[in-house]
């Protein structure tokens, strides 16, 4: 499908030649020559946004000349000019957890448009969409040569209904491609293959036009591709669906924070250590809703794979994106990963023509700046429950002791379970636990091979996982070399540690095998378990039953160490409370020591074959060793070979049969895919935003409540509302799978909303999990209470603290909230994506003002809330809410309505963005 541009022969259209071809483009320097303003010192990331508007100006795309001039004013105002603009990304990226509900919505929209008398074929992506199936593999098998094969077989057994549905979508929708299971993680596939840095397409006049590669993705770590100078960020599935259906992304021209890197990494440090420090610094600086752009001479010493790691974790430091401009390293990476030479030549010439090239004199205007000398980076980890909880490696054990002490001192002695030993020969003597001080608990585990003790701090999961680090050959080769040295000295993982290796692409396996390192990793227990997100998304799989039982019977604080990007409470495993992010080599090292209480920098990891202690420094590979092996084994040919048939899939994928037709034949018995109720009874005309009257409080939540807390992705038990639903539908517990895999079924997801095992509703004292007070004042599951309120016709509100909705771009966190009957969320502040998702589902976000908060107001959950006057609300308007307390007293407070733009007003008036699009398409057809 040709790209539609705003004008064919406008004053800013130019041509350039590169790689033997001539293309047109919309020139930023030409905009200056035309008198639109001085754009020379704009950051490259902002020039990408400006070019987007330049290309669509004067073409009926809601882009005006004043929008272009606003970028010059941004520079003149010191990096600030929050003008609302309409931005159109070139493409959309999805993974299957978020992609399945998006395709479900598209399928439902086809049914909906037919009900309104429209044409079902009007519901098609207008922008290219790639969906990579990467979130469905679970680590059931590990530590053996058949782990990968068995996990893939189990993946297909669990998810065949979803895969049949996605195959239908691939055939039914135009502009929609699916990358089959077992290929890699969407962001790594995007970085290594899909992204082009500069895109080309024919426009409506038949001319080839070059423009920056841009995208939005239904996963917050879409930002990873910013490392390749591709501007992209995560949005909710709702917003992505609107984008693929031709709706612009309404946004404010952002502030851009410049992060200057100088110096060079020291021996013994990794790109992971660097990114954890960057996350800590940027969280302290405050970059929510802002772009971050990295610049400075230190980039000359930073390989693109390490840039991608920093870009990947933009959601962890709260930014919209973490962008790296085009330079020589960009070209080197494009060449190494098998991109066409003509494309590489175009990227260089285009970047230089547009002023997007990072040379030695690159020093743009920024809204604010930070500086980091990379030679100050030291080994580090992050945890136990937030990515920004940075800890230098030598302080990790004392910090863990304090964490345990805090938990134990917060509970009375009666909470401690009695430890019973049922093995033969009586209980073994407990091992001394460093730093115990009476705060640590322990238990014993009996296996066929004997028995051992686990205790607070035992590392029960060590996983090399996630695109964040497995995209970086330097840390992956480093992990393999450390495993080799450990193996040579006779070390292996502790028996209670569940080890796994889940790379982000098949290229990783290619170079590990070429280097002979996979054999060493296998020997330590890091066998390949799959190509997918696994641990990072909560697909850690079960622990050994005896370990799980010991943890739960004795209330132990189990630990995971993983090379991922997320370590929120309840995310990694229901049996693990403390989760730490670390580099792949450190993940291997921690599996050897098996205990977070021990200082890994000074304590022996174990003894060699002669009984001598082995320390971390004895097996840590040098940078020279790593660089030599990367140079020898990570080749252009490997990338070309592994991506040659990326959309083909294996025999299992090719054998899947599915239905045909422009609308989906919804299987009534499916517990994975159901027709959602969003468009039931929807008429052709929009309504008004409804004022809120007599709303009751469903939950009062604290600070940093993540989308994981609101809509968990991991496993769940049969005693939960979602589990009870599946049992009632004859699904055995073994087949429950996860919340993430069942996002195509609103019945499961409604029941899973606010059901995270670690969420704390402040309406209840000392209770963890998804509970609240129902209409009768009794404690019950949040889902059950919401349904009871719906039967009474009572609207609901949520109160929350700061950074509400942090973390993943999880559309079900908003969808579930809406389907439970919540009309408003009142928080101290919102993370960007979740605020947008709430609006996209017709839920109104409000922020406290004037020093008010859930705490200052003394809220207990038995209040009612009125917010009048919303029928005439305008973006960012102040409104008065009245809180009526249980004793009849009232208090008026001022709230800021966080419907931020005029299009968002229309979305809420329509009941959501999908309703808005559907009505418009029905009228057009």
Residue with the larger pLDDT of the pair 165 and 924:
165
Q: Give Cβ neighbours of residue 715 (< 8 Å, ≥ 6 apart).
A: 538, 574, 736, 737, 738, 739
- Answer whether residue 724 shows pLDDT above 80: yes
Average pLDDT of the chain is 91
- Segment 897-915 mean pLDDT: 92
- Answer whether residue 48 shows pLDDT above 70: yes
Query: 918 with 870, same domain?
Result: yes
Query: 697 with 578, same domain?
Result: no
Residue 496 token pair: 């209670």
578 HSE (CA, 13 A, CB side): 30
Supply the pLDDT for residue 249: 87
DSSP state of 528: B
Give 522-559 pLDDT, tens digit per residue.
Answer: 999 999 999 988 887 777 888 999 999 999 999 999 99
Query: 83 with 43, same domain?
Result: yes
Residue 785 token pair: 């209470």
Measure the CA–CA gap between 316 and 806, rounded to whole angstroms. Answer: 9
- What distance lies between CA 683 and its chain's CA centroid? 35
Give 804-844 pLDDT, tens digit per residue.
Answer: 998 777 889 999 999 999 999 999 999 888 998 999 999 99
128 lies in some domain: no
Measure the CA–CA gap between 311 and 291, rounded to whole angstroms. Answer: 11
Between the alpha carbon of residue 783 and those of residues 758, 762, 770, the distances in Å are: 16, 17, 8
536 lies in some domain: yes
Supply the pLDDT for residue 513: 96
- Segment 254-279 mean pLDDT: 96
Three-state SS at 658: coil
Length reported for the chain: 925
> How many helices and strands in the chain, by DSSP H and E?
31, 34
CB 216 within 8 A of CB 239: yes
CB 383 within 8 A of CB 569: no
Supply the pLDDT for residue 467: 85
Query: 752 with 786, same domain?
Result: yes
Choosing from 634, 657, 676, the residue where a domain stops is 634
Which ranges in 410-472 belong to alpha helices (H)? 467-470
Query: 603 with 702, same domain?
Result: no
| φ, ψ of residue 349 in degrees (nearest 5) | -70, -40
726 lies in some domain: yes
Largest CA distance in the chain: 89
Measure the CA–CA gap between 417 and 576, rounded to whole angstroms. Answer: 17
- Segment 742-766 mean pLDDT: 95
Q: Alpha-carbon torsion 241, 247, 248, 251, what sign?
A: negative
- Answer whether residue 781 shows pLDDT above 50: yes
Query: 501 with 582, same domain?
Result: yes
CATH for 904: 3.20.19.10
Query: 834 with 878, same domain?
Result: yes
Supply the pLDDT for residue 250: 81
Residue 296 token pair: 């400075």
CB 317 within 8 A of CB 566: no
CB 242 within 8 A of CB 915: no
Supply the pLDDT for residue 413: 31
pLDDT band at 440, cuts 50/70/90? low
| φ, ψ of residue 220 in degrees (nearest 5) | -65, -25
Three-state SS at 343: helix
Measure the CA–CA gap between 379 and 377, rounded to whole angstroms. Answer: 7
> Model-level pTM greater than 0.75?
yes
Residue with the larger pLDDT of the pair 395 and 437:
395
- Answer whether residue 415 shows pLDDT above 60: no
424 lies in some domain: no
Query: 370 with 485, same domain?
Result: no
Which among 60-64, 291-295, 445-449 has the top mean pLDDT?
291-295
According to DSSP, the β-strands at 390-392 and 380-382 are: antiparallel
Query: 894 with 824, same domain?
Result: yes
- Answer whether residue 787 shows pLDDT above 70: yes
CB atoms within 10 A of CB 542: 15
- Answer whether residue 260 shows pLDDT above 70: yes
CB 423 within 8 A of CB 448: no
Choosing from 332, 361, 378, the residue where a domain stops is 378
- Answer whether residue 409 shows pLDDT above 90: no
- Segment 782-794 mean pLDDT: 98
- Answer whether residue 54 shows pLDDT above 60: yes
Measure the CA–CA gap between 726 and 671, rounded to whole angstroms. Answer: 7
pLDDT band at 740, cuts 50/70/90? confident
- Segment 67-82 mean pLDDT: 94
- Segment 65-71 mean pLDDT: 95
- Segment 261-280 mean pLDDT: 95
pLDDT band at 266, cuts 50/70/90? very high
Residue 625 token pair: 């060793």
Measure the CA–CA gap between 514 and 456, rounded to whole angstroms. Answer: 39
Give 620-641 pLDDT, tens digit per residue.
Answer: 999 999 999 999 999 999 999 9
- Answer whether residue 417 shows pLDDT above 70: no
430 lies in some domain: no
DSSP secondary structure letters along 142-191: -SSTTHHHHHHHHHHHHHHHHHHHHHHHHHHSTTEEEEPTTSB-HHHHII
CATH for 526: 3.30.499.10
613 lies in some domain: yes
Least confident of 236-245, 418-427, 830-839: 418-427
Q: Which of 474, 481, 769 is nearest to 634 (CA)?
A: 474
- Segment 55-61 mean pLDDT: 77
For 104-133, b/e burial (b = at least 16 CB within 10 A) is bbbbbbbbbbeebebebebbbbbbbbbbbb
Supply the pLDDT for residue 902: 86
Give 192-219 pLDDT, tens digit per residue.
Answer: 999 999 999 998 888 999 999 999 998 8
Supply the pLDDT for residue 26: 96
Supply the pLDDT for residue 427: 31
- Segment 20-44 mean pLDDT: 95
* Number of domains making up the chain: 3
Element at 523 (helix H, strand E)? helix 517-524
Query: 364 with 442, same domain?
Result: no
Which residues form the domain of 608?
A: 380-411+435-634
Supply the pLDDT for residue 422: 31
642 lies in some domain: no
Q: Alpha-carbon torsion 278, 279, 280, 284, what sign?
A: positive
- Answer whether residue 446 shows pLDDT above 70: no
At which residue do the structure tokens 């990793």 appear? Answer: 521
Choosing from 634, 652, 672, the residue where a domain stops is 634
Measure the CA–CA gap between 870 and 692, rounded to whole angstroms. Answer: 8
Least confident of 86-100, 275-289, 378-392, 398-412: 398-412
Supply the pLDDT for residue 2: 63
644 lies in some domain: no
**The Cα angle at residue 368 between residues 364 and 371, in degrees rounded to 5:** 85
Query: 774 with 905, same domain?
Result: yes
At which residue do the structure tokens 């799989």 appear? Answer: 541
pLDDT band at 414, cuts 50/70/90? very low
- Segment 73-86 mean pLDDT: 92
- Segment 244-261 mean pLDDT: 92
Q: Give Cβ neighbours of residue 846 (< 8 Å, ≥ 6 apart).
A: 824, 825, 826, 827, 867, 879, 881, 895, 896, 897, 898
For 460-478, b/e burial (b = at least 16 CB within 10 A) is bbbbbbbbbbbbbbbbbbb
Q: Give Cβ neighbours of residue 792 (< 8 Å, ≥ 6 apart).
A: 775
- The percentage of residues in the chain with a pLDDT greater than 70, rounded to a whole number, is 94
Supply the pLDDT for residue 497: 97
| φ, ψ of residue 737 in degrees (nearest 5) | 65, -130
Give 866-876 pLDDT, tens digit per residue.
Answer: 999 999 999 99
pLDDT band at 797, cuts 50/70/90? very high
- Answer whether residue 53 shows pLDDT above 70: yes
Supply the pLDDT for residue 452: 83
Query: 766 with 820, same domain?
Result: yes
- Answer whether residue 885 shows pLDDT above 70: yes
pLDDT band at 411, cuts 50/70/90? low
- Answer whether residue 302 shows pLDDT above 80: yes
- The percentage of residues in the chain with a pLDDT greater than 90, rounded to a whole number, is 77
- Answer whether residue 420 shows pLDDT above 60: no
């Amino acid at each position: 499908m040709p790209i539609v541009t705003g004008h064919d022969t406008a004053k800013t259209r130019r041509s350039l030649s590169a790689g033997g071809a001539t293309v047109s483009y919309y020139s930023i320097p030409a905009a200056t020559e035309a008198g639109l303003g001085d754009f020379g010192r704009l950051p490259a990331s902002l020039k990408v946004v400006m070019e987007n508007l330049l290309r669509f100006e004067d073409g009926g795309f809601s882009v005006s000349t004043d929008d272009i001039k606003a970028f010059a004013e941004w520079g003149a105002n010191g990096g600030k000019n929050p003008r609302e603009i309409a931005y159109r990304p070139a493409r959309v990226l999805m993974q299957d957890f978020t992609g399945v509900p998006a395709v479900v919505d598209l399928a439902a929209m086809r049914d909906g448009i037919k009900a309104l008398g429209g044409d079902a074929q009007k519901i098609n992506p207008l922008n290219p969409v790639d969906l990579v199936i990467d979130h469905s593999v679970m680590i059931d098998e590990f530590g053996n040569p058949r782990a990968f094969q068995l996990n893939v077989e189990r993946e297909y057994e669990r998810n065949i209904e979803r895969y049949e549905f996605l195959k239908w979508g691939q055939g039914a929708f135009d502009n929609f491609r699916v990358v089959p299971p077992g290929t890699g993680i969407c962001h790594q596939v995007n970085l290594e293959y899909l992204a082009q840095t500069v895109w080309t397409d024919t426009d409506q006049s038949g001319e080839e036009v070059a423009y920056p590669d841009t995208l939005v993705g239904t996963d917050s770590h879409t930002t990873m591709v910013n490392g390749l100078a591709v501007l992209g960020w995560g949005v909710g599935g709702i917003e992505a669906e609107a984008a693929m259906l031709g709706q612009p992304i309404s946004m404010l021209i952002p502030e851009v924070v410049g992060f200057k890197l100088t110096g060079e990494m020291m021996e013994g440090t990794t790109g992971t250590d660097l990114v954890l420090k960057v996350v800590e610094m940027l969280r302290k600086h405050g970059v929510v809703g802002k772009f971050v752009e990295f610049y400075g001479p230190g980039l000359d010493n930073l390989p693109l794979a390490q840039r991608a790691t920093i870009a990947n974790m933009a959601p962890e430091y709260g930014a919209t994106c973490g962008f790296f401009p085009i330079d020589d390293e960009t070209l080197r990476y494009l060449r190494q990963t098998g991109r066409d030479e003509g494309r590489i030549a175009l990227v260089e010439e285009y970047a230089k023509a547009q002023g997007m090239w990072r040379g030695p004199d690159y020093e743009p205007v920024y809204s604010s700046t930070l500086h980091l000398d990379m030679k100050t980076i030291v080994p580090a980890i992050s945890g136990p429950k937030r990515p920004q909880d940075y800890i230098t490696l030598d302080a990790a054990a004392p910090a863990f002791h304090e964490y345990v002490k805090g938990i134990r001192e917060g509970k009375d002695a009666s909470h401690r379970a009695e430890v019973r030993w049922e093995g033969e020969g009586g209980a073994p003597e407990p091992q001394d636990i460093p730093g115990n001080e009476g705060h640590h608990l322990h238990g014993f585990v009996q296996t066929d091979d004997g028995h051992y003790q686990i205790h607070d701090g035992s590392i029960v999961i060590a996983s090399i996982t996630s695109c964040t680090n497995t995209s970086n050959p330097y840390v992956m080769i480093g992990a393999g070399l450390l495993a080799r040295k450990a193996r040579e000295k006779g070390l292996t993982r502790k028996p209670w540690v569940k080890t796994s290796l889940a790379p982000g692409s098949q290229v990783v396996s290619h170079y590990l095998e070429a280097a002979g390192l996979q054999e060493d990793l296998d020997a330590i227990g890091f066998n390949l378990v799959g190509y997918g997100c696994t641990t990072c998304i909560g697909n850690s799989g079960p622990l050994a039953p005896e370990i799980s039982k010991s943890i739960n019977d004795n209330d132990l604080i189990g630990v995971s160490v993983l090379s991922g990007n997320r370590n929120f409470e309840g995310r990694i495993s229901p049996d693990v409370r403390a989760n730490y992010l670390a580099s792949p080599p450190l993940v291997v090292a921690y599996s050897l020591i098996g205990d977070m209480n021990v200082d890994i920098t000074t304590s022996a990891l174990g003894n060699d074959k002669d009984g001598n202690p082995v320390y971390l420094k004895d097996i840590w590979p040098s940078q020279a060793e790593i660089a030599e092996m990367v140079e020898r084994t990570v080749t252009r040919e490997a990338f070309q070979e592994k991506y040659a048939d990326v959309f083909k899939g294996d025999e299992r994928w090719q054998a899947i049969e599915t239905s045909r037709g422009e609308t989906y034949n919804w299987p009534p018995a499916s517990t994975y895919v159901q027709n959602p109720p969003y468009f039931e009874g929807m008429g052709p005309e929009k309504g008004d935003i409804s004022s809120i009257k007599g709303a009751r409080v469903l939950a009062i939540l604290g600070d940093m409540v993540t989308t994981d807390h609101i809509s968990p992705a991991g496993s769940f038990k049969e005693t939960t509302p979602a589990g009870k639903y599946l049992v009632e539908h004859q699904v055995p517990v073994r087949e429950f799978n996860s919340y993430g895999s069942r996002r195509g079924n609103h019945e499961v997801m409604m029941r899973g909303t606010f059901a995270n095992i670690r969420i704390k509703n402040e309406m209840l004292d000392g209770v963890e999990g998804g509970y609240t007070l129902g209409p009768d004042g009794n404690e019950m599951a949040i889902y059950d209470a919401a349904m009871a309120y719906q039967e009474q016709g009572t609207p609901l509100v949520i109160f929350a603290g700061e950074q509400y909705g942090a973390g993943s771009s999880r559309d079900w966190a908003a969808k579930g909230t809406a389907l439970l009957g919540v009309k408003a969320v009142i928080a101290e502040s919102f993370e960007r994506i979740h605020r947008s998702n709430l609006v996209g589902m017709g839920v109104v976000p409000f922020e406290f003002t004037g020093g008010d908060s859930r705490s200052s107001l003394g809220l207990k959950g038995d209040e009612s809330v009125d917010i009048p006057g919303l029928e005439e609300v305008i973006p960012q308007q102040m409104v008065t809410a009245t809180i009526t307390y249980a004793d009849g007293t009232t208090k008026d407070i001022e709230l800021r309505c966080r419907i931020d733009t005029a299009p968002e007003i229309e979305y809420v008036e329509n009941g959501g963005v999908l309703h808005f699009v559907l009505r418009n398409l029905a009228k057009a057809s």
